[in-house]
Structure 1
Amino acid sequence: MKQLLSLTALGLALSFSLGAAHAADAPAPTKQQSKMATCNKEAGEMKGDERKSFMKTCLSNKPATQQDKMKTCNTEAKGKKGDERKSFMSECLKK
């Protein structure tokens, strides 16, 4: 029984050390992969055509058009009303 426990403990220790070594050897994400992760985060809860449009603009090297900014800001402003919405939209569109 002691041998079985010892072997199990040794096996677990080796698997953890190999896993950590493998993670350290993983290549850094490419510029495109990093950009994709950032755009996905920014897209948040968007869905359908709105998300497609946003991701296309975000992943391209072109700056977002005013229309794209407006769509994105409108989506993010859901639930805000009155002065709070005006203030939010103003700041969002300046970005």
Structure 2
Amino acid sequence: MCNVFRCCAVALLFTGSALAASHSSAVPSSVLRDPEQQKMTDCEQQATMQSLKGEDKKKFMSQCLPAQVNPAKELTPHQLKMQACNQDADKQDITGDARKTFMSKCLKKH
């Protein structure tokens, strides 16, 4: 009796594992991911295809991620100001404390 039980238990375990494996492989990995994770993966793939590294990759990622967050959503007036000031700072290649000062002045005048 004990051997029959073991055989049935092993058969059920094997069948359940096979079903679980076939189910998980049938569902694309993008469906199982959080939308934010998927956006990060998409931007990472784009950066890799462009062979970006270091500061170039950071700059690309900082532009790519917000662009994909919710492209249909309209930006608030403050967000538009921030975006314009960030673009100006990028064009002038301002970094560090100088960027903080620039951003503060820029946001006050816009």
* TM-score bucket (shorter structure): 0.3 to 0.5
Look at both structures and tell me which one has the larger radius of gyration over its CA atoms: 2
Q: TM-score, normalised by structure 2?
A: 0.37
TM-score of the two chains, using structure 1 as the length reference: 0.41
